[in-house]
Structure 1
Amino acid sequence: MRLNLVLLLLVANSVVFAQSSLSGQVIDIAGEPLIGATVIIHELEKGMITDLNGQFRFDNLRKASYHLHISYVGYEAITVAANANGGDPITVILEPTSLELSEIVVESNHYKTGPKEHTLAMEIIDMEYLKKNRKGTLVNSLEDLPGVNAINTGVGISKPVIRGMSFNRVIVNDKGVKQEGQQWGTDHGLEIDMFEPGRVEVVKGPSSLMYGSDGLGGVLNVFPPSLPDPGTHRGSLQSIYKTNNQSISTSSSLEGNINDKVYRVRFSTQDFGDYRVPASSFTYNNFNLPLYDNQLKNTAGNERNVTAMVGLKKNWGYTTLTVSNFHQQAGFFVGAIGIPRSYQLTPDGDSRNIDLPMQEINHFKVISNSNLLLGKNWLELDLGYQNNYRQEQSNPHAHGKGPRPEGTQAHALRLQTYSLNARYFIKLSDRHSRIVGLQGQQQLNSRGGFEFLLPEYTSASIGAFVFEELSFKNKLTTTAGLRFDYANRNINSFSEPIYSDETTIERYYQRNGNINADFYNFSGAVGVSFYPNKLFNAKWNLGTSFKVPTAAELSMNGIHHGTFRHEVGDSTLTSERGLQADLSLSYQKSNISLVISPFVSVFNDFIYLAPTAQFSSSLDPDAFPEGGQVFQYRQNDAFYAGGELAAEYHPLEEIHLRLAYEYVYNYNLDTKLPLPFTPPASIYSELDYEVSINRVSWIEGVNIGVNYKKVMDQNRVDRNERNTPGYNLLGASVGCEFNFNRFKPDLYFSAQNLLNEAYFNHLSRYRLLNLPEQGRNFVISLNIPFAIK
């Protein structure tokens, strides 16, 4: 990493380039200057606000093409391409809007285009939205967006679902590097500090062209806040309290810019106790078991997360180095491993105690991000190293006739990942641009513990792509691209000794054999975005996608206690191929927005985890005496379809109405049955009212809101999968922003599951235990920003 940073600085400073300027004026539709509008150069992450005449000027720029983001409260944000050549000033006209997300929309980092030119459906979420919707994890904060769901394991553990796809079908990129942990597991969360993101891009639809294997369902791109301007130091103190499990979360951050040398540090904590459900008992395997004080014993946990960044911002671009560590301890409900017993559920007198069974996760990351101006083109380079160490602790139990295991470490999985992402952006003309990209990854996985689930393996992949974008008369943008990928899976065999008594090994049971498999894939995509005027935008995208089998899908063979099943891989799995089409139609005025996004996909050799009628004891009674339903990785041809509808309306400037609907339909073309783990259809509605309090100078505004979510029955399930009834959730919120001169804190109160409804989440693994989700929860959130200039 250090060598990379030195080389980049040498290249950037080895030649003296001609300097130029870029200037302009920001006005409204009446021609009046907008004072204090924000203007940011995307490639340099440099910004300023307009003066009393609405004017801005950037000096000492290298001659090149830049993208400017211009925003102002109450006006629609836009992206403008401009050349720094010392020419005439540009004029930017902003139109008024009452739609909050329209005020902050910026271009995608990866596609280098504004929202109207995107050919894929995409939502860009800013820090304000994340602050108002924090629910314990980053993924839960996004699940009210249409097409986005979460797979939950109690509180504090969740993973994203986009358009019904999850696990290794959704890519999460943190600062340009794919987040790599043990994401194949239902009970494995996303190891990202929920306070860290400054912006999240939710890309829906086939994304294999730009991101590679696993980008079938969609992509979450997570970015930090923008870098501060020279001479600026700022930070924040944040705290969240939740009543249901007495959760206390804090985060402190400080960042600054000293003569173009930038830094950022953040430290976050989270401590939570056993959470409550609206039930006093639950039924499992015909046993009725008690829940004392409505609590799920041993669901407490804690997090300690730290991030530090240093870097440089110059007229040739910027380069940063970020080091972070995510550490979490979380208990598993004591009835979650093996067959629950009443005596295990008796309270221990401490709702914050973390006892066995439990998991401990440490995720260490080093990420280098550079954006360099080479000539008149831009090179983005992301390098990453990740060390994910996952331990699961549980009481050892008798394994057949052999010796009883020592210690409590059931699993110790360590995954190390090295990543390289390079993208070269070429501006061929004012209407024609090209992206040439290269991606590479190397993984090493080791295992330990008295349980076996996943063998040791190494994995390597490399991919190259070219992406073309062509615009016509500011009304039509077309895109097309091709990609080639190679991947290798080298998996070690593992054999388990079977004992005839306490000391004698009778034979060996082979959990998996040696596997050394190569995979080659070509993929392509074409897209169109048509925007004849400012009101209407139509997007269409057609792409081929692929998914390389993971090591877990090829070789897993063991009882996964955390998910109540025995999971078995298949060494004969081949690459999955898909043809995916995506359409988005949007209509937007100053006070109304309507977006309809249908999609349809056909997959050959679709890889999925299927429930079977077998139990593990039938595979080998000596190796698996405990039992457990067998889930087998399989391949079948499949059909996916569905869509989202999102509407926003401001009948008055103070009133905000939002409606979101989502539906996913899938079908196994071989078995003639639905695919498992499919989220049900849902409708989310929200009403906000902004109250102006003119008589109190230190209160800037109060926001009052109510929300309602209706989730339909899920009766379209796979064979041996359980139906889930629908439910209704009611919530409410009150937010207040204060202004004490330069001190501007904000305070939010919210209520989740206000009616304390007992309901089952179809995607929750606790659904198999007939355990309802979290009950009524009141949340208090305080944010105290500060700045020194």
Structure 2
Amino acid sequence: MKSFFVTLLLGFSLFSAAQNTVSGTITAANNKPLELVSVAIPELTIETLSDANGKYAINNLPNGNFKLIFTYFGYETQAVTIRLNQKETIVNSTLEESVNHMEEVIVSTAFNKMQSQNVMKVEHSSIRELQQKGAATLIEGLATIPGVSQVSTGTAIGKPVIRGLSGNRVLVYTQGVRLENQQFGEEHGLGLNDSGVESVEVIKGPASLLYGSDALGGVLFFNPEKFAQPNSFSSDFSQKLFSNTNGSNTSFGLKSSSENWKFMARGGYNSHADYKIPGGNRVTNTRFEETDLKTGIGYSNSKFASVLRYNLNNLSLGIPEEIAVQTTKRDPNYPRQGVVSHIVSLHNNFFFKNSKIDADFGYIANNRKEFEDSSIPVLHMDLKTFNYDLKYYLPKFGKLETILGVQGMNQTNKNSGEELLIPDAVTTDIGVLATSNYEWKKNIFQAGIRFDTRKINTETHGIAGSEGYFEAIDKKFNSFNASLGYKTQLMDNLSVRINIASGFRAPNLAELTSNGVHEGSNRYEIGNPDLQNEQNIQTDLNVEYGNSHFEFFANGFYNHINNYIFISPNGTVIEDNNVYDYVQSNAFLYGGEAGIHFHPHPLDWLHFTSSFESVTGKKDNGGFLPLIPANKWSNTLRAEFDFRDWFKKAFTSITVENTFAQNKNSEFETKSGGYALVNASLGGKINLLKLKFDLTLNANNLLDRNYVSHLSRLKSEGIPNTGRNIVAGLNFNL
């Protein structure tokens, strides 16, 4: 496999070079040249900056049609489609001032459109924006995006929830690779570090058309950090300190690029003690330590582009059970988890005269150990996943764009611990898809179809009739899915999106085969080999309005799921553990998000944002679904300013987050009370003599409110969530 990757990366560099160049001048409306404007071609992972005269140039480009994106703080983002088929193409740009947020190209959808051109509504947030909110982990930051929540076990373990769906119903992509890390377990966290991640895109709704099984509820798509600009070198160092956990987050990165080659490397280290609740006590064994390494190398010429990335993540974390011995130790006690993940991704683009092929390959090795009271692992699961994603972009026919694709996965799970949660198994996926995008005046249509098949083969293990016995299964799951989307511009400032899509999820190994005590959940679980596909259909409506000083959005959805899989107590007890069965029932979820952004003239530096989100989940035969987040209303007042020459792009904000009582609980959950949290932040770019750095200060749960989240797995023990947490962050560009 190693030689295969090397061949793909280097072998095509022998293609002939057309040496296309795009260049031009960027000015403001008053004809003043704009310096340091970002000029990017996202499809080629190429980016440069304009000089003091507003001029830019990008060389060694292939023939074909590409999007040229001009981005500058305080100005409207501009996207231009260019056709390269000659030696030099001149593209000049005039940018208009704006106080709105800069638009981004959406990578997670099929045609990589700007958000304003995208048929599907996708939430985009940079990791820097999430970090400014003072989150201790990546998943905490994600939970601030409307429609996204987390099932948490302390600060170390968090699982994303999108509109009430979580676990294997939410697919996570990192480095363009489908993340597989035994995500069936409630106490199995995301396993990703925000170091070396540029941004995240959230698809809220079925995305099986693009990604296959497990994208029934939505997708989190993490974009890796960009390479350096051509012919440049840069490095940076960042440090964050957390008062509540005595925590530390350190990151160091460097990157360099020539005209054809690119390289980057980044290392990060996280260390946190037990978190403190209001009143001063610490929740025993919520501590964790994490080491993260990311590196990448890229090559491009006029016919071919390739990027090879690697990520190593080593996480050691405690499993909390009670408030007991008070300590600020960082090394986790027993019970504990040790998780090591290796992620290798290879992204290739082959450019032809009027079309192109994307060929993506990924390999993930996830090694998970769980220890009860000694260094000998009780559970030891070794999961290895190889996946591929091939897409052919047909020549554009007028305003019609079409993609044909094939995707697949081969996965093996091996056990070597004293106990087994799931058996040794082999899972194989293959899917084929076709999707098209058509533009007509102010209307955009998008439609697609897909067929998938998944095979699961397991081995017999143990003694029949006893705990840990698994009977071999040989199952095959098929699904046909489709989507249809429409976006129109009703007025200059008012747009509407309507999408209807189906999705599916094949039952996972735990749901099919479980037979034993799941220590992390404190229950005896029994699987069901007769489970069928979950199959859903969701309708989404998005309305957006925006002018120079006011923006409004409203998203509504209705999601019906056939054969929804859930776990239910059967009333029996085995060895002092309540027994739970995996069963199925039709279910439905509905709700949405709405919000405003107001920045009044002439006080353009002042911003007020408010958002509300709600989701309800019920079974068709009565009763509510488990793990449905409570309604939430969040309000933020933010000021942006420059304070002389030494404090630039500064900001300060205060947020009041109201979480309402959750009374729509499932039969084995309890109701949760409402609460309000106050968060504050301050930051900006500081220039003192020759010392330049970014500074952020955050105070989360400023009033030290005692509360318990409905989605906290420590709720059943009566353990509150985190108390006041002061976070200080520094970032130096070296």
TM-score by length of 2: 0.95
- Corresponding residue for 1:290? none
| Among candidates 455, 465, 469, match of residue 423 of structure 2 | 455
Structure 1 equivalent of residue 631 of structure 2: 681
Kept after mapping to 2: 8 A contact 1:78/1:105: no
- Cα 1:748–1:36 change in 2 (3 A) is closer
**Cα RMSD for the two superposed structures:** 2.2
Distance 1:374 1:630, change over 3 A: farther
Q: Does 1:758 align with 2:709?
A: no
Opposite residue 324 of structure 2, the aligned amino acid is: L
State the partner residue of 2:104: 105
Q: CA deviation at 1:5?
A: 4.1
Aligned counterpart, 2:199: 199
For residues 252 and 147 of structure 1, what CA distance do their matches in structure 2 show? 32
The question of whether the paired residues in 2 share the 8 Å contact of 1:382 and 1:421 is answered with: yes
SS, match of residue 43 in structure 2 = coil
Cα distance in 1, alignment partners of residues 59 and 369 from structure 2: 53
* TM-superposition CA deviations, 1:244-271 (whole Å, max 9, x none): 1101110111111134221111111111
The CA deviation at 1:740 is 4.8
Which residue of structure 1 lines up, in the alignment, with residue 48 of structure 2? 48
Alpha-carbon distance in structure 1 between the residues aligned to 2:31 and 2:365: 55
- Provide the C-alpha distance between the structure 2 equivalents of 1:88 and 1:61, rounded to a whole number of angstroms: 11
Q: Look up the match of 1:491.
A: 458
Q: Deviations over 1:710-765 (max 9, x none)?
A: 11111111122211111111111111311257753111111111111111111111
- Structure 1 equivalent of residue 347 of structure 2: 369
SS at match of 2:469: strand
| Residue type of the alignment partner of 1:95 | E
Partner of 2:496: 538
Residues 22 and 85 in structure 1, CA contact (< 8 A), matched pair in contact too: no
Contact 1:79-1:107 within 8 A present in 2 as well:
no
Confirm or deny that 1:639 pairs with 2:584. no
**Identity score, percent:** 28
Letter matched to residue 681 of structure 1: N
Equivalent residue for 2:324, pick from 314, 325, 345: 345
Encode CA deviations 1:183-212: one digit per residue, 9 max, x unaligned. 111111111122121121111112110011
CA shift for structure 1 position 427: 3.6
Aligned residues of 1:676 and 1:721 also touching (Cα < 8 A): yes
AA of the residue aligned to 1:640: L
2:64 maps to what in 1? 64
Look up the match of 2:573.
616
2:97 paired residue number: 96
Distance 1:317 1:780 in 2: 43
Shift of 1:214: 1.1
Give per-residue Cα distances to partners, 1:646-687, cap 9 Å, x unaligned: 3211122211111121100122002x1111111111011111
The 3 A distance-change label for structure 1 pair 692 and 27 is closer
- Structure showing greater Rg: 1
CA distance in 2, matches of 1:718, 1:420: 39
Task: Find the residue that maps to 2:129 and give its secondary structure.
Answer: helix
TM-aligned CA distance change 1:531 to 1:2, over 3 Å: farther
How far the C-alpha of 1:4 sits from its partner, in A, is 3.7
In the alignment, which of 479, 483, 494 is matched to residue 446 of structure 2? 479
Contact 1:235 1:252 survives alignment (8 Å): yes
CA deviations 1:549-603 (Å, max 9, x no partner) are: 1111111122112122222221100111111111111111223221111011111
Aligned residue identity for 1:720: F
1:616 counterpart letter in structure 2? V
Q: Which region of structure 1 is more displaced relative to structure 2, 127-136 or 238-247?
A: 127-136
Correspondence list, 1:49-448, <5 A: 49-51=49-51, 54-86=54-86, 89-99=90-100, 102-108=101-107, 110-111=109-110, 112-278=112-278, 294-335=281-322, 345-347=324-326, 351-395=329-373, 408-448=376-416
* Aligned equivalent of 2:522: 564
CA contact (8 A) 2:60 2:301 kept: no
Distance apart, 1:33 and its partner CA: 4.7
* Contact 1:104/1:126 (8 A) holds in 2: no
Opposite residue 659 of structure 1, the aligned amino acid is S
Structure 2 distance, partners of 1:311, 1:762, is 44
1:313 to 1:62, Cα distance in 2 relative to 1, 3 A? closer
Is 1:518–2:517 an aligned residue pair? Answer: no
Map 1:13-24 to 2 at 5 A: 13-16=13-16, 18-24=18-24
Distance 1:37 1:463, change over 3 A: same
Q: 1:220 to 1:531 in 2, by over 3 A?
A: same
CA distance in 2 between partners of 1:124 and 1:772 (Å) = 31
- Residue matched to 1:690: 640
Q: Give the letter for the 1:779 counterpart.
A: V
Work out whether residues 116 and 531 of structure 1, in 8 Å CA contact, stay in contact via their aligned partners in 2. Answer: no
- Residue 468, structure 1, aligned to residue 436, structure 2: yes
1:456 deviates by: 1.4
Corresponding position of 1:666: 617
Partner SS, residue 643 of structure 2 = coil
Which residue of structure 2 lines up, in the alignment, with residue 555 of structure 1?
513
Give 2:665's aligned amino acid: V
- CA distance 1:29–1:164, change in 2 (3 Å): farther
Q: 1:605-639: CA deviations, max 9, x gaps?
A: 112233x252432xxxxxxx2x2233322211111
Report the Cα offset of residue 409 of structure 1: 2.1
**Cα distance per residue 1:471-492 (max 9 Å; x no partner):** 112x111001010101011122
Conservation of the 8 A alpha-carbon contact between 2:103 and 2:115? no
Alpha-carbon distance in 1 for matches of 2:616, 2:264: 44
Cα separation, 2, equivalents of 1:145 and 1:70: 26
- Judged with a 3 Å threshold, the aligned counterparts in structure 2 of structure 1 residues 395 and 17 are, in CA distance, closer, same or farther, namely closer
Give the letter for the 2:400 counterpart: H
- Which piece of structure 1 moves more, 593-602 or 311-320? 311-320
Within 2, Cα distance between the matches of 1:127 and 1:244? 22
Amino acid at match of 1:423: K
How many residues are matched? Answer: 730
Deviations 1:339-380 (A, max 9, x none): xxxxx9244x55334221111111112211222213332222
What's the secondary structure of 1:731's corresponding residue? strand
Structure 1 unaligned regions, length at least 5: 280-292, 336-343, 397-406, 498-506, 618-624
TM-score, length basis structure 1: 0.88
Aligned to 1:401: none
Shift of 1:523: 0.5
Q: Secondary structure at the match of 2:227?
A: coil
Give 3-state SS (helix, strand or coil) of 1:3's partner: helix
Structure 2 counterpart of 1:338: none
Unaligned runs of 5+ in 2: none
Closer, same or farther in 2 for the Cα pair 1:13/1:308, shift >3 Å?
Answer: closer
Partners of 1:592 and 1:408 lie apart in 2 by 59
3-state DSSP of counterpart to 1:116: helix
Q: Which of 654, 675, 679 pairs up with 1:706?
A: 654
SS class of match (2:116):
coil
Distance 1:563 1:109, change over 3 A: closer
